[in-house]
Chain A
């Protein structure tokens, strides 16, 4: 296997790594390189911080192990290689009447990445997390490939395990039925935070997601748009061609005035009485994928995403966070509020029953301080920070948020005693112990 020396980043582009990378195109090449010198895997690098970075070390790019290996149309069990992007899988499956049970906000995320971060989607409140629908997976370590069944300790350490138990090469997924390849989306305005929480609590929709105006203050604090959706069959509007951001945007592109103006227009886009629209599935599930490399809008310095979840009873913590975010004038238009269910599959899985808030911030002076304040509020509320997004948190705080962390450490120590799979995130947060 030839190694390529390269500099790379996560989606946020605020943190960088340099190191050697391999990109096997078949399973035999992967097992051979793991036998020689194990290295952590990465996919399409859609995690934001340093979960997919190994500065100064080696990494295995899994994007060419991306094939759809098997599918049973009776049971809806599908077997795919780990480098398969979730959106591509959905594109192939939807005409057959099936979809991945859980889809994150970008279709570029690979199946391996979805398992390693135990991601959630717009149906988490009803359907749970991604890895809860993984029947088994193929894990490659220095000893070769092994099948890991759902529910075992090794599975729980691998699902949400940030790649520390070995390289996920393939997985068997339980799909869910979809009526077709369109979604009907009902969009409603939420006038303020209480209104928003009320709408989320009362929603009976399969898929829900709330866009929140993180720049709104005073009476408008917490205003936004709730989208509720169901899959359906019908005429599919022709997909619009993808556009790309061809260069790093200058810093004024997302200045506070621009963001406030944009957010107000975006809020008013939906009429006061709400509306129902029909969209192709990709457009609903992966709205930003239509703008390739949109992370370049944040310029060379990159950006951070803060995402937390707090228990249902701690909604005031979210209100408090929104106040501070609006006052900081650092928010971007990308902010999401959602209600989560309890579903989680692994020791380090992010979800808990409660409300989750995600906000993007350009990497500017003041962001680090703001994010630390938000982390304080999260910790006080008994909540959790999402490792797939994090680039700034401190280790002791994070470890305290994950009650099964010790179990994970023990399982990982057994699976990778040499620590060969460690990544920048794991080192920064001291996740594997000393």
Chain B
């Protein structure tokens, strides 16, 4: 059975790496995002690498009134439908401190926008009774830290949402994978002070495909972050509140 994937936030380098891996095996791709010029270039790239088809489609997490068109587009193809969500935004915490209104956009991009889309897609997936949803969260969502707790809070909300979605869709044969990357060498982290255990977009894409294949529920990428975040989560709050990690 042929597979079709819709990738939300497809211009991100992690999504690009996943799209290429999926193209290599001949899947169909709906590449969704805001920068249509760039998405068309990526669609051409994926087609030439072997995708059954690759199409640029418009998606803006902050414009939910347009989601219905996209949902309709996913139904136009008869392959097994899968979705992967890469959208999110991470303004500097200092910028948010200066302008708290930035919180709204961060939460919309990283949590409520994609959640609303997946909520609309859920009945479609239930009807198919197959396929996988991949939600990209972040280790930042595992605990609120002084450096980026607004982004972390949005991702924590998204993690909880994915957990519930897994509970719902699992009953109908649709699997939900939560991926929590540590720092990844992308435009988002480029030029930030040096980050530990940095991984590459290609490695994350590889981890995602393996998690999909083995039907894992929650995976970290790189793997070491499962251990690190376990330790960080175990630090008692009275101690944690004094740390700057």
Contacts and interface: CB of A to CB of B under 8 A. Distances in A.
A369 to B, nearest CB: 40
A300 interface: no
B65 interface: no
A69 interface: yes
A27 interface: yes
B226 interface: no
Given A25-B11, A28-B37, A81-B41, A4 B48 contact: no
Interface in B175-231: 186-187, 190-192
Contacts of B48: 68, 70-71, 92
A28 B187 contact: no
B37 to A, nearest CB: 7
Contact of B42 (A28, A67, A71): A67
Given A2-B191, A23-B187, A23-B190, A69 B44 contact: yes
Nearest to B186: A25
A69 B45 contact: yes
Among B16, B38, B48, B49, max chain A CB count under 10 A is at B48
Given A2-B190, A92-B49, A26 B11 contact: yes
Interface in A62-77: 64, 67-71
A3 interface: yes
Contacts of A81: 41
A12 B190 CA distance: 25
Contact of A68 (B11, B45, B192): B45
Contacts, number: 48
Contacts of A69: 41, 44-45
Given A2-B190, A4-B190, A23-B190, A28 B35 contact: yes
Nearest to B188: A2
A70 B40 CA distance: 11
B13 interface: yes
Interface residues of A, number: 20
A3 B41 contact: no
B11 to A, nearest CB: 7
Interface in B2-40: 11, 13, 16, 35, 37-38
A358 B245 CA distance: 51
A237 to B, nearest CB: 20
A231 B231 CA distance: 55
A70 B42 CA distance: 11
A25 B187 contact: yes
Given A67-B44, A68-B48, A68-B49, A27 B37 contact: yes
A27 B11 CA distance: 12
B86 to A, nearest CB: 13
Contacts of B41: 26-27, 67, 69, 81
A24 B37 CA distance: 15
A28 B38 CA distance: 8
A10 B108 CA distance: 43
Among A3, A27, A69, A71, max chain B CB count under 10 A is at A69
A414 B37 CA distance: 30
Contact of A25 (B13, B44, B49): B13
Contacts of A26: 11, 35, 37-38, 41
A217 to B, nearest CB: 46
Among B16, B41, B192, max chain A CB count under 10 A is at B41
A64 B16 CA distance: 10
A81 B48 CA distance: 13
Given A25-B13, A26-B37, 6 more contacts: A2-B187, A25-B186, A26-B35, A67-B45, A69-B45, A71-B48
5 contacts: A25-B187, A26-B35, A64-B187, A68-B45, A68-B49
**Which 5 pairs of residues, A with B, have the shortest CB-CB distance?**
A4-B191, A67-B45, A2-B191, A26-B38, A68-B48
